[in-house]
């Protein structure tokens, strides 16, 4: 196991302990509420890579802060990730999450939707607990960044869901990038890094650089995620293969296919992609996958991801860090992993 993966696991274990032992209640005097608590603890207890807490803690150390100061904020990022996944799975009609049934499949949509809200509220409650360690001003700055992160994410999510709901196919690469910047970049890279840096007391220059780093890397990360969804190993990846095709997601790969396919191929792909999830057949999915291969749309998307990674690494290199060099190089190692990973 590489140094990066050991470090991701080490941080994840520490953050999980904060989440499961300190932040999320275990039982209630009201018997019925116990189930809500179990539901809130469900996704956080499933296996996950823990990329975002790693970024938060590592950026904090690179910016000269102490790991212990960033743990609670890192845990809040995980809580955020978990409630948004619960709702995302309902919105997308997904069956699986991290290798097990999605929460709404296990407990029904009404209870799962509400459990996501409960977890969202607990996230803000937990952020308030930064006060004794970080002081009022810094706790406040962390919440300001957090609020930006949630706003951006819900806007990106709206764009993507809106394209599906309104059967939009007149989309360009630029639209995909704008959507990814909001849906993925902020909460997957930019804010986790910026939150760690804020905890460490970093200045506006570092924060601006981290936004740029996060924007490029987040889009590259999403492109890789889209590729894995189509051709990844289901066991490693933890989601059902080709779920994005069933959900009608507008990925860069699909937009590239539509831009390079013949008119008749294009019409057939749009016809298939516009069907409701339940009406898409296995041969529909195979046909789209065969065209993706024929037009090398994944190869193209990966080339774009590699370019974005290069930009991200060059931004990262230019940052004037005040903390330890090892953390800064771990961030670079992470950036490469995010784009080259197989899971």
Q: 257 and 246 in contact (C-beta within 8 Å)?
A: no
CA atoms within 13 A on the CB side of 178: 9
Pattern of binders to a copy of itself over 89-108, x per CB under 8 A? -xxx--------------xx
Whose Cβ is closer to a copy of itself: residue 32's or residue 282's?
Answer: 32
Distance in Å, CB of 102 to a copy of itself, minimum: 14
Sole window of 133-141, 200-208, 249-257, 325-333 interacting with a copy of itself (rule: CB under 8 A): 133-141
Positions 20 through 79 that interact with a copy of itself (CB under 8 A) = 28, 30, 32-33, 35-36
When binding is defined by CB under 8 A, the residue of 45, 66, 96, 113 that contacts a copy of itself is: 113
Q: Stretches 94-102, 124-132, 234-242, 299-307: which one binds a copy of itself (CB under 8 A)?
A: 124-132
Strands (E), 149-284: none
Return the residue of 137, 170, 276, 282 that touches a copy of itself, per CB under 8 A.
137
318 binds a copy of itself per the rule CB under 8 A: no
Q: Which 144-203 residues touch a copy of itself, going by CB under 8 A?
A: 144, 146-147, 150-151, 154-155, 157-159, 161-165, 178
Give the CA-trace dihedral at 11, 13, 18, 19, to 10 degrees: 110
98: three-class secondary structure by DSSP:
coil
Residue 97 forms beta bridges with which residues?
100
Please identify, among the stretches 61-69, 136-144, 200-208, 262-270, the one whose residues bind a copy of itself according to the rule CB under 8 A: 136-144
| Side-chain half-sphere CA neighbours of 317 within 13 A | 6
Q: Is 208 in the site for a copy of itself (CB under 8 A)?
A: no
Q: Report how far residue 152's alpha carbon sits from residue 80's, in angstroms, rounded to the nearest whole number.
A: 13
Closest separation between CB of residue 101 and a copy of itself, Å? Answer: 16
Give the CA distances from residue 286 to residues 26, 149, 252, 282, 300, in Å, rounded to whole numbers and listed in that order. Answer: 45, 37, 18, 6, 20
Q: Cα separation of 235 and 232, whole Å?
A: 9
DSSP codes, 122-178: HHHHHHHTTHHHHHHHHHHHHHHHHHHHHHHHHHHHHHHHHHHHTT-----HHHHHH
Query: Do residues 146 and 191 lie in contact, with contact meaning Cβ atoms separated by under 8 Å?
Result: yes
Q: What are the beta bridge partners of residue 96? A: 101
21/170 with CB nearer a copy of itself:
170
Distance CA 263, CA 311 (A): 34
Report residue 207 CA to chain centroid gap.
20
- Taking the least distance from each CB to a copy of itself, the nearer of 39 and 70 is 39
Applying CB under 8 A, which of residues 13, 17, 68, 125 lies at the interface with a copy of itself? 125
Number of amino acids touching a copy of itself (CB under 8 A): 49
Nearest CB to a copy of itself, comparing residues 112 and 298: 112
* Tokens read off for 110: 């009404």
Q: State the minimum distance, in angstroms, from the CB of residue 29 to a copy of itself.
A: 9
Per CB under 8 A, does 131 bind a copy of itself?
yes
Q: Which helix (H) or strand (E) holds 100?
A: strand 100-101
Which residues contact a copy of itself by CB under 8 A? 28, 30, 32-33, 35-36, 84, 87, 90-92, 107-111, 113-115, 117-118, 120-122, 124-125, 128, 131, 136-137, 139-140, 143-144, 146-147, 150-151, 154-155, 157-159, 161-165, 178
């Amino acid at each position: 196991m590489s140094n990066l993966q050991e470090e991701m696991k080490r941080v994840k274990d520490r953050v999980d302990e904060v989440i499961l032992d300190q932040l999320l209640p275990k039982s209630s005097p009201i018997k019925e509420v116990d189930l809500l608590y179990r539901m809130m603890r469900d996704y956080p207890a499933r296996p996950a890579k823990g990329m975002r807490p790693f970024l938060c803690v590592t950026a904090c150390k690179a910016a000269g802060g102490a790991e212990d100061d960033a743990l609670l904020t890192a845990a809040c990022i995980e809580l955020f990730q978990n409630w948004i996944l619960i709702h995302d799975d309902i919105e997308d009609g997904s069956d699986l999450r991290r290798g097990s049934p999605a929460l709404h499949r296990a407990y029904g949509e009404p209870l799962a939707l509400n459990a996501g809200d409960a977890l969202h509220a607990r996230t803000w409650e937990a952020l308030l607990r930064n006060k004794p360690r970080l002081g009022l001003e810094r706790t406040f700055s962390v919440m300001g960044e957090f609020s930006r992160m949630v706003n951006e994410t819900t806007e990106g999510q709206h764009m993507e869901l809106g394209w599906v709901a309104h059967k939009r196919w007149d989309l360009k690469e630029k639209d995909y990038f704008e959507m990814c910047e909001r849906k993925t970049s902020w909460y997957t890279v930019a804010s986790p890094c910026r939150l760690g840096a804020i905890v460490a007391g970093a200045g506006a220059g570092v924060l601006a650089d981290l936004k740029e780093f996060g924007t490029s890397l987040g889009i590259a990360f999403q492109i890789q995620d889209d590729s894995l969804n189509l051709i990844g190993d289901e066991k490693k990846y933890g989601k059902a293969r080709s779920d994005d095709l069933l959900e009608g997601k507008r990925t860069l790969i699909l937009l590239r296919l539509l831009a390079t396919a013949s008119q008749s191929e294009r019409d057939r792909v749009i016809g298939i992609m516009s069907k409701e999830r339940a009406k898409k057949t296995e041969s529909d999915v195979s046909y789209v996958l065969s065209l993706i291969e024929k037009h090398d749309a994944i190869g193209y998307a990966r080339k774009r991801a590699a370019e974005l990674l290069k930009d991200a690494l060059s931004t990262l290199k230019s940052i004037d860090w005040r903390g330890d060099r090892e953390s800064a190089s771990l961030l670079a190692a992470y950036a490469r992993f995010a784009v080259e990973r197989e899971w």
